[in-house]
Amino acid sequence: QKDRQILVANFAQINDRISSLESKVSNYKKRLNEQRFKSLLDSLTKLPNRAAFDERYNYEINLFNEQPSDITLVVVDVDHFKSINDRFGHTAGDITLQVIAKALQKSIRQTDFIARYGGEEFVILLANTDRNASYEIAERIRKRVEDTPFKVTNKYTLSVTMSIGLSVMDEQSDIKTTKQLVNAADQAVYAAKMSGRNRVHHAD
């Protein structure tokens, strides 16, 4: 009887230790997940950052290689952003980027992925979206930002525009690699700026 009581007491202690360890492991995993989430988030705009975009981009490309579909890369560059910082200060520039981020989020679909790529540049991935549909989405994004008033000071409100470049990877496209897709979108943004800014340009 005594041996059984000692054995039961030992089992109870072991169960308490296991419960304590499980609780510690659970809290540790939770902290790791929170740290990972923060590491993939842009602190200013609260959008996914470049590292998060790279992860999603690689996922979409791998998916494309297994089951070809349409992938559109949208590169968004704010026009004359440096002049906003120069005229009104970096705080005004930061607020402008935050407002743009919210406008962009409201303009895309739930299946699309948006990230701040760096500086005044944003990138959007449109999965299963052909050339015509991607242009319509990009144009809607451009128009929403253009129509959004940006109050940079108590007395001054300005209009902000964006130049947008698109590139598509599909079975018919000449674009076959991730590098070609990015380069084509960058060249399309450059073409949009050279042709007057505040417009959408599709890579040939």
Tokens 């450059």: give the residue.
Answer: 190
Centre a 10 Å sphere on the Cβ of residue 6 and count the other Cβ atoms it contains: 10
Phi, then psi, of 102 in degrees rounded to 5: -65, -40
CA distance 19 to 13: 10
Of the listed 22, 120, 136, 146, which one is catalytic?
A: 120
Phi, then psi, of 185 in degrees rounded to 5: -65, -40
Q: Return the SS3 of 198.
A: coil
Helix residue ranges, H only, the chain: 2-39, 50-66, 81-88, 90-107, 131-146, 178-194
Give which of 180, 163, 74 is closest to 127, Cα–Cα: 74
CA distance 198 to 146: 8
Assess whether 120 carries a catalytic annotation: yes
Active site residues: 120
